Homo-oligomer: A and B are copies of this chain.
């Protein structure tokens, strides 16, 4: 490590790994430099040569080379945990791509291992947590100003993926190669943000459709309910077959309401008092006036709409910079690795509920049962090894 820069080893130089290499080489992550690159495809060495950094076909060799202080895992989801463990075990910091694992048992392994290495930095790449829109909402909700959550709904269907996208690789959208569909590949950011803002769900019931409007084994359609406890509930709907696409999040609280459209337009309504107090204080005469249209309920709250700019590329640089800062001076992580399990559990619970037709307990989540059911589907597919 130099005094001010973390030397990052990029594992997997595909779309994501390539983007991070460009961001860092263009100086967009001031406290980071590329230490080395590894990829199982030998032809990727050309890009490493262009960047003037060592290249390894074997990522373990890269980790052991002494040329990297940390790694980022830009590889298929199933590999994230084992690569994280391999790095941490050799004294190298680990930034895992989302999801932190395909199933909770696997996610727990890397999280538990990282707990034995408190001196090392262990993060997960939730770049959406650096989006100022969601940071502002997280802070507002955490401040308690809006009170307790009553209910929420997030419709996030602007993940349109044509059949050709799925036909690109034989591992894509398979149980054995990817471990799921839209819940594992496209929606993990929203699954993370949702539980980050609303709280970790306690129960889940979901209707999923597998290969619904695409020729794939896994889910391309999700309509799910969760129970946040204390009567608060949530709805989550996602799909990869909605060409028009919707991104609409609503959260109702005791003292107000938040509606987000297109991850861009935020409308916050703040009640002048808690809703239950306003309800109690309304006289019978006012109730009659309300029904006659002579009293306007909108006098009881104020609404403010804010437009946020799109900050796409920026977010990835910010996550890398925050990760490096944690390594260098202990700056708190935006997305600590252990946080990654919540979204994995939620995706797993949605699968398990759809498979069983039952509401699934998430407080005491049966991760062995999930793995058994997942392995059944991997076996039936017959193309990839089962998992343990």
Interface 9-residue window, one of A26-34, A77-85, A154-162, A320-328: A154-162
A233 within 8 A of B: yes
Contacts A162-B282, A225-B205, A225-B225; is A246 near B250 (CB within 8 Å)?
yes
A275 within 8 A of B: yes
Judge whether B209 and A235 touch: CB under 8 Å. Answer: no
- Smallest Cβ-Cβ distance to A357: which chain B residue: B359
Q: On chain A, which size bracket covers the interface? A: 35 or more
Chain B residues near A221 (CB-CB < 8 A): 150-151, 231, 233
Judge whether A284 and B168 touch: CB under 8 Å. Answer: yes
Judge whether B235 and A212 touch: CB under 8 Å. Answer: no
Judge whether A164 and B282 touch: CB under 8 Å. Answer: yes
Judge whether A235 and B280 touch: CB under 8 Å. Answer: no
A297 within 8 A of B: yes
A179 within 8 A of B: no
Judge whether B359 and A297 touch: CB under 8 Å. Answer: no
Task: Give bound CA distance, A163 to B279, whole Å.
Answer: 6
* A interface, over-half SS: mixed
Judge whether B223 and A225 touch: CB under 8 Å. Answer: yes
A60 within 8 A of B: no
Judge whether A150 and B241 touch: CB under 8 Å. Answer: yes
Task: Give bound CA distance, A383 to B186, whole Å.
Answer: 53
Question: Which residue from B164, B252, B254 sits with its C-beta under 8 Å from A284?
Answer: B164
A242 within 8 A of B: yes
Task: Give bound CA distance, A244 to B268, whole Å.
Answer: 10
A214 within 8 A of B: yes
Task: Give bound CA distance, A227 to B208, whole Å.
Answer: 10
In the complex, how many angstroms separate the beta carbon of A339 from the nearest chain B beta carbon? Answer: 25
Chain B residues near A311 (CB-CB < 8 A): none
B interface footprint on A226-238 (CB within 8 Å = 1, 0 otherwise): 0100010111010
Contacts A162-B287, A283-B164; is A231 near B212 (CB within 8 Å)?
yes
B interface footprint on A278-321 (CB within 8 Å = 1, 0 otherwise): 11101110110010000001001101000000000000000000
Additional 6 contacts, C-beta under 8 A, given A151-B221, A151-B237: A205-B205, A205-B359, A209-B233, A224-B225, A242-B252, A242-B257
